[in-house]
Structure 1
Amino acid sequence: MDGVIVGAAIVDDGKLLVGQRAYPDDVAGLWELPGGRVEPGESETEALVRECHEELGVDVTVGVRIGGDIALRGGAVLRVYAAALVDSGATPQAAEHKALQWVGADEVAAVDWLPADRALIPELEELLG
């Protein structure tokens, strides 16, 4: 396996945070869950906390795993976890994304997702209840 990518399904006030990719060109404009690569010596939970702090400027608590492993290009695997803002109502900042948006359960399926994240639509809708 060529690494693990972790994604955060951050829910606040019944809505899910999604980020619009700024790069690379072939996926720019598509939407994803925030997150990133697990670094050597780091747990998946630690990586998710770090990535959310770096990408969004917010601290999160990581909850249960959502869905199964999703195979990515290059042999990596995506693993998604439910997450919540430590400071409910904090405003995430788009440090690495073109834009951020909060979406409700009825909007999840309409998001123009990256293919890997699109596979999780049923689980994300269930998470938002």
Structure 2
Amino acid sequence: MQAEFTVTTRGQALYEITDQIVGWVQDSGRSQGLLTLFLQHTSCSLLIQENADPEVQGDLLAYLCLLVPPASDPSMAYLRHTYEGPDDMPAHIKAALLPVSLSIPVTGGRPALGIWQGIYLFEHRDAPHSRRVIAHLV
């Protein structure tokens, strides 16, 4: 069973997609299996992260921006791929550091997430984008 989800982003941030994914798994009627999520892009990532405190997402974004600053930062002067904007190559670096796919067991008709876990698309570009996530359940 497979589906495609579109996530509209508004710039760099974490976008929770847990409810969409859980709803699709529940609608599948499968009580157990393995859910694979795959992102069809090279400048964003997928994460399982805490969803109880929004400060966690803000801290993750702030840390990653310190770790990989925009191409306009003097520390990034070595970058050559800059024609798509100062956020493009740093977005590719961030996506190389974080996963673009997730595998989650399904038990009891739901993804087996912990109580504080949520599924997030982590947008690394500044501008809004329409992102595609492929969900596959076996």
TM-score range, shorter chain: under 0.3
TM-score using structure 1 length = 0.26
Q: Which structure ranks higher in relative contact order (CA pairs < 8 Å, sequence separation ≥ 6)?
A: 2
TM (norm. structure 2) is 0.25
